[in-house]
Chain A
Amino acid sequence: MSPDTTDALLLSLRVAALATALNAGLGIPLAYVLARRRFRGRGLVDLVTTLPLILPPTVTGYYLIVLLGRRGWLGGPLYQLTGWSVAFTWYAAVVAATVMALPLLVRTAKAAFESVDRDLERAAYTLGRSELRTAVEVTLPLARNGILAGLVLAFARALGEFGATLMLAGNIPGRTTTVPLAIYTAVQTGEDPTALLLVGILTALSCVVIVVANQLGARAT
């Protein structure tokens, strides 16, 4: 393997792992709230979370630039204050992968939370547990397999992210070139063996993900 290929693989794994961790931290509480609470703006939150699943990834990437770019709503003030921008760094790849993977986790985890019998939570309340403790001790363990399946899917989605990453992080070898971008570059420049190797690795990983997700899904029911 060439150094560039190794870099791409390591970067992809690092990005996907971080994006999955961020998904767990953001997506699991979000899925619980969407499944169990009724509040104003719930529909809007659901819509915004789901959009990246439906939109072309380049459109999502464009929105991310509008939000986080050097002249973005959030990125602009940050750049003026610190001279640093997330755009075209490997953090941008993490942000893009996180946003693109979030709907998969949230939708799977929300369905898993909704499948937990509400009487079990009510029973815990009458036995003195707060809502938070009930969520941790009762709802979460019973929704565990569905949530894990969602995390596996999110990891796979993050690993394969291309469009939004290209928009926000660019394609800088050794810094933001993840495996899907490396495959694109390899094909463009005629490096067929590199492309084939990376395609093979991603295909194998995807097969593993499908098997694991299916097994978790089967145990959840």
Chain B
Amino acid sequence: MTDRLEVAITLNVPGFTLDVAWSAGSGVAVLFGPSGAGKTLTLQCLAGLLRPTAGRIVVDGRVFFDSAAGVNLPAQARRIGYVFQGYALFPHLSVAENVGFGLRDRPRAEREARTAEVLGRLGLADLGARLPRELSGGQRQRVALGRALAIDPALLLLDEPLSALDAPLRRTLRDELRALLHDWRTAAVVVTHDFTEAYRLADRIVVYDAGRVVQAAPRSELLWQPASESVARIMGVRNVLHGTVVKATPDRIQLRWRGQLLEAVNSPSRSYLPAADSPIAFFVRPEYVRLIRKDRGAADPAHHMNLMEGTVVGDEDFGTTWSLRIRLDGPGAPAQGAYDVEVEVPHLVYEILEIDRDRRWQFSIHRGSIHVLPA
């Protein structure tokens, strides 16, 4: 599959340097990272609203910007649909006028037909005469999308499309937006700093940090194989831990952590082979730690890999799940302040096992659930 979108740009603004290169195919690419990482600046460069200091931007074979060749297509000529943070609907124009705004060069009948079609597809047919201030947050989002999609854009850009909404609405509209982006089959670039949002919307995720791309990968690869500890931290991965390598082979990595000998699966695609005794970072997702039930007999070390024992020193109720903070037996300071591992269990499990009373637990982690982070 050829890339529809190629970006390689640098941009110097006072106090900040953006220096990024990434590409994306059709589908949805998400630019993910903390606020101030340069995601919105990238969108503005793509749209032609900001001129990069140097580099090249190609969309579907059309060169938008090429500093070496002296090409810089103005925003008006790029045919890019831009959904702004806060939507930037024209407050003095009706919904229909907003959606039809980019169709001015077309004959009136065609313009009206296209506007009606877009309003209909987005479920806004009855709202054409309203003003933006008379709409709900979700309706405004759809109008902004409709205005951008009406021009049949070569590329759709969405800057924090859900940040203007209340929390309960965000979840619903996230899924609605996802369906919509797939339905319209327009290549899209979405900016967000929320990983759940990024994962739900993306085919491919580009991770930004301090003006640079630290990883670009399909979303599932990113979820399970962050390229480094800093990427894992930007993603908000919990239980990022540090141990020492005992032995590394293409299949397995043995490591020592808090006095325990742990075994992890090495990634065959990356064949990461650190030297023995070198430091190594890894992470364990809290929902992948197994508590050993006491009513099923003694734990079997052959079956339960990476078996450990400790005390629940803290727990927090997250509504549908409980987060347990477990401190291991044995000497030395705990890995994460007051505890070593965070474990997440569903409410039902918490109640059946009576964890509120019973604080001593054995637990195991499958070697496939210990994810090594390359240095």
Contact = CB atoms under 8 A, between A and B. Distances in A.
Contacts of B44: 122
Contacts of A125: 48-49, 74-76
A126 B78 CA distance: 7
Interface string B253-291: 000000000000000000000000000000000000000
Given A127-B151, A128-B151, A141-B92, A122 B49 contact: yes
Interface centre among B49, B76, B92, B151 (most CB of A within 10 A): B76
Interface in A79-137: 117, 119-120, 122-130
Contacts of B74: 125
B208 interface: no
Interface stretch (B79-87, B123-131, B317-325): B79-87
Contacts of B80: 126
B372 interface: no
B91 A142 contact: yes
B361 interface: no
A186 interface: no
B294 interface: no
A126 B90 contact: no
Contacts of B96: none
A129 B147 CA distance: 14
Interface centre among A125, A127, A138 (most CB of B within 10 A): A127
B92 A123 contact: no
A117 B76 contact: no
B88 A128 contact: no
A127 B101 contact: yes
Nearest to A117: B88
B191 interface: no
Nearest to B91: A142
A138 B78 CA distance: 20
A189 to B, nearest CB: 54
Nearest to B84: A119
Interface string B26-51: 00000000000000000010011100
Contact of B88 (A119, A129, A141): A119
Contacts of A141: 92
B238 to A, nearest CB: 36
Contacts of B85: 119
A33 to B, nearest CB: 19
A126 B101 CA distance: 10
A124 B91 CA distance: 13
B317 to A, nearest CB: 40
Contacts of B92: 141-142
A128 to B, nearest CB: 5
A49 B69 CA distance: 42
A187 to B, nearest CB: 49
Contacts of A142: 91-92
A124 B93 CA distance: 12
A122 B147 contact: no
A127 B147 contact: yes
A147 to B, nearest CB: 14
Interface string B296-327: 00000000000000000000000000000000
B84 A122 contact: yes
A126 B105 contact: no
A126 B91 contact: no
B352 to A, nearest CB: 52
B104 interface: yes
A124 B49 CA distance: 11
Contact of B49 (A117, A126, A127): A126
B102 interface: yes
B43 to A, nearest CB: 10
Interface string A170-208: 000000000000000000000000000000000000000
B151 A123 contact: no
Contact of B75 (A117, A119, A120, A126): A126
B90 A128 contact: no
Interface centre among A120, A122, A125, A128 (most CB of B within 10 A): A128
A112 to B, nearest CB: 14
Nearest to A130: B76
B82 A120 contact: no
Nearest to A131: B76
A128 B44 CA distance: 15
A119 B90 CA distance: 10
Contact of B82 (A117, A123, A129, A130): A123
A124 B100 CA distance: 11
A127 B82 CA distance: 9
Nearest to B159: A119
Given A128-B151, A129-B76, A130-B76, A123 B88 contact: yes
A213 to B, nearest CB: 21
A41 B338 CA distance: 61
Interface of A: 117, 119-120, 122-130, 138, 141-142
User: Lowest 5 A-B CB distances belong to which pairs?
Assistant: A127-B102, A119-B88, A125-B75, A126-B82, A119-B84
16 contacts: A117-B86, A119-B84, A119-B85, A119-B88, A120-B91, A122-B75, A123-B90, A124-B90, A125-B74, A125-B76, A126-B47, A126-B78, A126-B102, A126-B148, A128-B151, A138-B90
Given A125-B49, A128-B76, 10 more contacts: A117-B88, A122-B49, A122-B82, A122-B88, A123-B88, A126-B49, A126-B80, A126-B102, A130-B76, A141-B92
